[in-house]
Structure 1
């Protein structure tokens, strides 16, 4: 038996749904390579991803396979957050959506900007890489960097719209700010330590 959508259901989804849905689609599309590489395929990885990572995938190194599976699951979780940002939620769930959405926005945009900045510096000749990695650097500049930035922007717009619809007084914004700050600190720690 088909379920009828009420006017309330449509209006809850309609006003700010497209950024959350875009974030969800982005997450699902981005999960595909992680799962494919975890299952043994390196299609698309040989020319677009660091050779050291491709070697880990080819050698089926156990810890790296686990990282690929976890990364894929995190991307699916991000897709669920994107979908969650299309509907009004209860107070606790809404705050969790805003926390995760703010964190995803900053982490993805920051990561993408680092890829783009590095690629631009290599292209301008102010930063050097091994000759065999110049083509790879262009992939990070033209594909991976912009891809991360687009995902970050989708989460940023979805989270902002969600907060505006949910909380006129701005109490929920604090959760988004904490998520964003946490993501930035995590990324900076990763950058400084060289882990990740």
Structure 2
């Protein structure tokens, strides 16, 4: 009996049942890789697509080749690729410890990206409704954040959430409780971080 329990505790989760359960993970991979491209392009010196879709202050930092901002671009690009790797990890069965780490990261990423995109959309809607005023020369930029960046972040959040839930559901019943707990802890931590950054204005 003890040997049986030990084997079950260290066994790999069963294979995910179908492409239907795995496609959200691959959606995260595509999302992360596509999202990383602009960061690397801008870090290399090009401002293609940035002047109309990104805040002017950030574009100026890229044009002036400010070292710390270039470092931020490289780091954010790398983090987006890490997000793609998390999606790849969630698309296939892993060991118990790796699975819990993936569930933690997936839950956290879903909240972080969803919060970020939601703020862009809410702000854009308020501007369009006339409830919030912005400088006339920033109105076009606000619409880019409303119709491009906000939905893009929300799409990433849905992909992360779907990949995490699909991964948990594809694992054995004995492992699902721990995976759900890891995902919930990651999501809660991301929510606290998002609230703190919003209140303090950092991020």
TM-score under structure 2 normalisation? 0.89
Report Cα offsets for 1:47-89 as digits up to 9, x if no partner. 0000011011111111111110000000000000000001111
Alignment equivalent of 1:72, drawn from 61, 74, 77: 77
User: Is the Cα contact below 8 Å between 2:15 and 2:171 reproduced in 1?
Assistant: no
Q: Secondary structure at the match of 2:125?
A: helix
Counterpart CA distance in 2 for 1:175 and 1:191 is 24
1:155 equivalenced with 2:186 (yes/no): no
1:183 equivalenced with 2:190 (yes/no): yes
1:172 equivalenced with 2:179 (yes/no): yes
Counterpart CA distance in 2 for 1:163 and 1:120 is 35
Q: Give 1:131 shift.
A: 1.0
RMSD over aligned Cα atoms:
1.6
In terms of mean alpha carbon deviation, does 178-187 or 65-74 score higher? 178-187
TM-score under structure 1 normalisation? 0.92
Counterpart CA distance in 2 for 1:11 and 1:159 is 12
Moved over 3 A (4+): 9-15
Query: Based on CA coordinates, which of the two structures has the bigger radius of gyration?
Result: 2
Size of the alignment, in residue pairs?
Answer: 188
Q: Give 1:11 shift.
A: 6.2
Q: Give structure 1 stretches of 5+ with no counterpart.
A: 1-8
Q: Give 1:13 shift.
A: 6.6
CA 1:156–1:39 in structure 2 vs 1: closer, same or farther (change >3 Å)? same
Alignment equivalent of 2:48, drawn from 43, 52, 55: 43
CA 1:182–1:11 in structure 2 vs 1: closer, same or farther (change >3 Å)? closer
Q: Give structure 2 stretches of 5+ with no counterpart.
A: 1-13
